[in-house]
Structure 1
Amino acid sequence: MVGKRTALVLASYGYVPPLPHSDAVRKRTRLDFLTEEEKVLRRKLLNREAAQKARDRKKNSILLMEQSIRSLQSENQSLRQTISLLKHKCQEQEMRLNSIHCQLGLSTNGDQTLKSEQIEPSEPAVLFPLQQGVVLCVLLLICLSFVSLALASFSRPMLMILVSFFKMMSLPISPQRSRFHRSPRKTLPMR
């Protein structure tokens, strides 16, 4: 499609665009009737028109981008306001929670809120050697009472298994005297 300005210039040279045919093979008409100077002028006009269209498209795309930037900035600002509002509400809830804990007599650790109470064991997880010995003796007594009650019903191989179990249970407590204790590995010198 030829622009208005180009059509006026071409009309001034006596060029009339051909009417569209249904059987037209060529999309462009031959410009044999134009002189070289007219062809150059026509090419310049078409180039100007194409450049103007490109500038218009670029301007429209820039306007669309600016509009999307403005909408994204407003959305960002509203999200920031929502975040600050939620932070404020969270702080209020933490203060209410702390006041409730104070009313109930629960202590909070400094300024931190009580997020989860950890149950402290009353005794350490690793028992002292004396306590380990007591536990082993109780286990041994339980096993002996079990053996004395069920001795008649066990066969000889089962008794051998129980005897080996008792021997294993009567191992020394400290690892230095244990026969299962490994000595540090001797490493070979590096070459």
Structure 2
Amino acid sequence: VDPTGLGRAMGLTQMGEIKITLAQEALADEAAAKNAAPAPAAASAIIPATVPAPVQQVAVAQPAKPAAPAAKSDQVSLTLKPGEGREIKLEMLKGSVVAYEWSASGPVNHDTHGETYNAAQGDFHSYSKGRQIKGDKGELTALFDGTHGWFWRNRTTGNVTIVLNTTGDYLNVKK
């Protein structure tokens, strides 16, 4: 049940559906192996009694495995025209950590910040700011569930290209 739709938006609903499908496939494979045994009538009588236990074990054990090694890596680039500002955000859960490094072909102003899901206009937390710099690197730890990332503005008279590299625990990249 996902009354707010947050589970689907964060990809949790899809992960659950995939895990259920995988569990059902594993049970079908197990049932097929038992049906190939010499006593098929006895095996089919046993299968309904044993099916619920593996489903519960798989459903309980599976979610813990993907949560630990959820590290992703991405490289994203964008080009800003003179006066233009744009941002790249990572969808992250509270406590998630991302190592990042970005570089720009010319000096830019930047604001590293985050917003909770469904935040009001102008409601955000700023992690760091800089003026007329060509890069930054470090770790970003999400203080809350939401989007966390970088806003850049080009105050030069020429185009500036920015390349962002991220590695860590995040759900997706939004450009």
Q: What TM bracket, shorter-length normalisation?
A: under 0.3
Q: TM-score, normalised by structure 1?
A: 0.21
- Which fold has the larger relative contact order, with Cα–Cα distance below 8 Å and residues 6 or more apart in sequence? 2
Select the structure that is richer in strand.
2
* Structure with the larger helix share: 1
What TM-score comes out, normalization by structure 2 length? 0.22
